[in-house]
């Protein structure tokens, strides 16, 4: 069985603060892919990043960075210098090699105040 946990239901920050969104993915699979999606109020899911389970190198892309630690099953996503346009619900969504679908977490609602 696999389990995706996004423990933070809602986060509120002031513009320009850094914010980290947590995700824990528990699985017995040794090979999997992890994705983060953003869903703004308009409703459309926007693909943000993809990581492999066999690649623990952390990366930075613009204001986004992600920290993947396989030993603790954590896959965290950080937005640096948040902006009001970052306000959305963020979903962590793993995909295992055998399944043909994404398993979405419950999501974290991020509110960035001006």
Partner 1 sequence: ETGVTQSPTHLIKTRGQQVTLRCSSQSGHNTVSWYQQALGQGPQFIFQYYREEENGRGNFPPRFSGLQFPNYSSELNVNALELDDSALYLCASRGDRYEQYFGPGTRLTVT
| Residues near partner 1, by CB under 8 A | 33, 35, 37, 42-47, 50, 91, 93, 95, 99-107
Smallest gap from Cβ 46 to partner 1, in A, equals 8
Smallest gap from Cβ 80 to partner 1, in A, equals 23
Do 23 and 75 meet the contact criterion of CB atoms below 8 Å apart? yes
**Helix (H) or strand (E) segment spanning residue 86:** none
Q: Which is nearer to partner 1, 42 or 71 (CB)?
A: 42
Q: Which is nearer to partner 1, 51 or 112 (CB)?
A: 51
Smallest gap from Cβ 100 to partner 1, in A, equals 3
The residues near 30 (Cβ < 8 Å, ≥ 6 apart) are 53
**Helix (H) or strand (E) segment spanning residue 37:** strand 32-39
Do 110 and 91 meet the contact criterion of CB atoms below 8 Å apart? no
């Amino acid at each position: 069985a696999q389990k995706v946990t996004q423990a933070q239901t809602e986060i509120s920050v002031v513009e320009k603060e850094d914010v980290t969104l947590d995700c824990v993915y528990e699985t017995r699979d040794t090979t999997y892919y992890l994705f983060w999606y953003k869903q703004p109020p308009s409703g459309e899911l926007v693909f943000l990043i993809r990581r492999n389970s066999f690649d623990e190198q952390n990366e930075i892309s613009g204001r986004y960075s992600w920290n993947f630690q396989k030993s603790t099953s954590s896959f965290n996503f950080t937005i640096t210098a948040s902006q009001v346009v970052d306000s959305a619900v963020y979903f962590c969504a793993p995909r295992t090699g055998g399944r043909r679908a994404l398993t979405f977490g419950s999501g974290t609602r991020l509110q960035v105040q001006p």
